[in-house]
A and B are shown apart, each in its own frame.
Chain A
Amino acid sequence: MSKKFSLAGMITKDGNSLDLKTGDWRIRYPVHLKEKCKHCMLCVVYCPEDCIRHTEDAKLLGMDLQYCKGCGVCAKVCPFDAIEMKSDV
């Protein structure tokens, strides 16, 4: 049995969710419009992938596209239209 593939796909390492790069599921991607953003952090709490990056003192930095599935929830909840969804395709 190859080392790359465990027995029946068994996962023996915990805390491994960062290994699952869900970004390749995406067909749309969010664009952070910095000039409109008020750094309210609403998108951060709504993001189901926890992939909106920010500083410790609550300054929004942008989206981590390695994990963003392109669901568009952030753009929907943003009260300031500071997130725009664009198409990958």
Chain B
Amino acid sequence: MAIRERLSGNEAVATAMKQINPDVVAAYPITPSTEIPQYFSNFVANGTVSTEFIPVESEHSAMSACIGASAAGGRVMTATSSQGLAYMWEMLNIAAGMRLPIILIDANRAISAPINIHNDHSDSMGARDTGFIQLYCENNQEAYDNTIMAVKIAERAKLPVMVCYDGFITSHSVENILLMEDEEVKNFIGEYTPEEYLLNPDRNISMGPLALQDSFFEFRKQLADAMVESKEIIKEVSSEFAKVTGRNYGLYEKYMLDDAEVGIVILNSSAGTAKDTVDELRAKGVKAGLLKPRAFRPLPYVEITNELKNLKALAIMDKADSINAYSGPLFSEITSAMYTAKLDIPTINYVYGLGGRDVKTDDILTVYEKLLQIASSGKIDQVKHYLNVEE
């Protein structure tokens, strides 16, 4: 039986972690993910979990401790945001390169400078090519569900997973939520039984050794192949999850997209706002729709491109800017996929909400209005736009 609760995003994720009861959590607090190690260390102190909690002195050490504990054979989790994730960057690559199924919770926050504690996706987008699977969450329920599914996905894919949700907007907002029973979570994730691990007294193994010109390339290809294969694993685990909870997750979610003429691609909590705008437009007879990627790594580029093919105009929304004199990361990658699929529809890029700039339904409405103009004229005046920014 599902448990009806009302929790903030961080509380929901900390509750998932309590139910997962990992062997090791190593974390260093940073806004807006601070509450996760805070709640979790309460569980440790109260004996609610049997986890070894390592209060490290930095995020670099947090991920390093996670790598050691995961290589030793433990089920391992951590949480961070923003500068903390940036500080982990070196070790993120090592976690993935060593194929360790570590779970990292990222309450998305802007990257300095200027210093800012509020939400955008600059942190996780900056770590998009580290070899972590990245799952993006619209609300507290998705953050909770993805945290639980991440364990199984990571262990099956032998890849680390980053669960990303919007700092403050999701992390600190209290919402109604359906929790699984402790037993259900325990049965769903099962015991972690790695084939090889450093604390196995019967085997003398070495992990993460030197690999030079004759083998490094093959190991990197192995990692890239694992990311390709993880797509099916995410689908498998999500369908197993649906059997237990009734909540269905794919690689992406589409909303009113099938017959839409104007559409947007948007991640995380802003997708929830945009759904309201879609409803308003639909009420007026405008065929608006949206697509919200859940997995950005692996990028389901064939599937997403296929879903977009009937649109007359498309906006890809980035809550992170690539300072590349071109576009945001989501735009670059999806338009690249569209090009290789020979899908030629007028597509524009909006960078929005940096540093927690509020994005309201009216702001999203201006995007759809722009798309309607483009759909009727077939002309694009400029590719990249900044939503609601003072010039």
Other-chain residue from A5, A7, A9 in contact with B158 (beta carbon distance below 8 A): A7
B204 surroundings in chain A (CB, below 8 A)? 14
B207 adjacent to chain A (CB < 8 Å): yes
- B222 in contact with A1 (CB, 8 Å): yes
Contact A8 B219, beta carbon cutoff 8 Å: yes
Stretch at the interface among B14-22, B208-216, B350-358, B359-367: B208-216
- Cβ–Cβ < 8 Å partners of B99 in chain A: 7-8
**B99, B206, B215, B223 interface centre (most CB from chain A within 10 Å):** B206
Asked whether B36 is an interface residue with its Cβ less than 8 Å from the other chain, the reply is no
Q: Does A45 contact B (CB under 8 A)?
A: no
A11 and B211 contacting across the interface, CB-CB below 8 Å = no
CA distance A9 to B98 in the complex (A): 8
- Are B97's CB and A11's CB within 8 A? no
Tell whether A10 is near chain B: CB-to-CB under 8 Å: yes
A1-B222, A5-B222 are known contacts. Are A10 and B97 too (CB-CB below 8 A)?
no
What residue of chain A has the Cβ atom nearest to residue B205's Cβ?
A12
Task: Assign chain B's interface to a size class.
Answer: 10 to 19
Q: CA of A7 to CA of B97 in the docked complex: distance in angstroms?
A: 10
The residues of B that contact A2 with a CB separation of less than 8 Å are 218
Instruction: For chain B, residues 185 to 223, give those with C-beta under 8 angstroms from any C-beta of chain A.
Output: 196, 203-209, 211, 215, 218-219, 222-223
- Is A5 in contact with B97, judged by CB distance below 8 angstroms? no
- A80, chain B: closest CB distance, angstroms: 37
| Residues of chain B within 8 A of A7, CB atoms compared | 99, 158, 196, 222
What is the size category of the interface that chain A forms with chain B?
Answer: 10 to 19
B218 contact set on A, CB distance < 8 A: 2, 4-5
Chain B contacts of A4 at CB under 8 A?
218
Q: Which of B208, B222, B225 has the most CB of A within 10 A?
A: B222
Chain A residues lying within 8 Å of B97, measured Cβ to Cβ, are: 8
A10:B196 contact, CB within 8 angstroms? yes
Contact B206 A10 (CB under 8 A): yes
In the complex, which residues of chain A have a beta carbon less than 8 angstroms from the beta carbon of B222?
Answer: 1, 5, 7-8
Across the two chains, which residue of chain A brings its CB closest to B211?
A9
CB-nearest residue of chain B to A7: B99
Residues of B within 8 A of A5 (CB): 215, 218-219, 222
Residues of chain B in range 141-195 having any CB-CB distance to chain A below 8 Å:
158
Whole-angstrom distance between the alpha carbons of A43 and B98 in the complex? 39
B97-120 to A contact mask, C-beta < 8 Å, 1/0: 111000000000000000000000
Inter-chain contact B98/A8, CB cutoff 8 Å? yes
Chain B residue numbers with a CB within 8 Å of A11 are: 205-207, 209
9 contacts between A and B (CB under 8 A): A1-B225, A2-B218, A7-B222, A8-B98, A8-B207, A8-B208, A9-B211, A10-B196, A12-B196
- Chain B: residues with CB nearer than 8 A to chain A? 97-99, 158, 196, 203-209, 211, 215, 218-219, 222-223, 225
Known contacts A5-B222, A7-B99, A10-B207; 20 additional CB pairs below 8 A are A1-B222, A4-B218, A5-B215, A5-B218, A7-B158, A7-B196, A8-B97, A8-B99, A8-B208, A8-B223, A9-B207, A9-B211, A9-B215, A9-B219, A10-B205, A10-B206, A10-B209, A11-B205, A12-B196, A14-B205
A-B pairs with the 10 shortest C-beta distances?
Answer: A14-B204, A11-B206, A8-B99, A9-B211, A5-B218, A12-B205, A8-B98, A9-B219, A10-B207, A9-B209
